[in-house]
Amino acid sequence: MTHVLVVNVGGDTEEKSLEKATAYLRSRGWTVSVDGLPSDVFMESSKFKGANLALYTFSNSKENGHPEVMEAINQKGVRPGGLVSVAAYQGS
């Protein structure tokens, strides 16, 4: 099972937002397993065995274009460049 969040990181660009999210998670003990900057990053938890994250710029995420996500973005007045999609899953 995968849980996905679209997070407003507030970077000036998609790439800066992804870098900001990655840096924050590194400061919390997550390690990069695949560095696909500027579009995606995969991370593993050093604290929780088998816990993984996949981070994507919003334009490269599966959530981009979903009507309910786009409606929420428009309602909140959020810039898509500040968004990062974070998918949490167990296993590889």
**Which residues is 34 bridged to in the sheet?**
42
Contact 39, 68 (CB under 8 A): no
CA angle, 58 then 26 then 40, to 5°: 30
Residues 21-48 have pLDDT tens digits of: 999 999 999 999 999 999 999 999 999 9
Q: Which residues of 2-33 are buried (b: 16+ CB within 10 A; e: fewer)?
A: eeeebeebebeebebbbbbbbeebeeeebebe
Q: What percent of the chain has pLDDT over 70?
A: 98
The per-residue pLDDT for 92 is: 66
User: In the chain, pLDDT over 90 holds for what percent of residues?
Assistant: 85
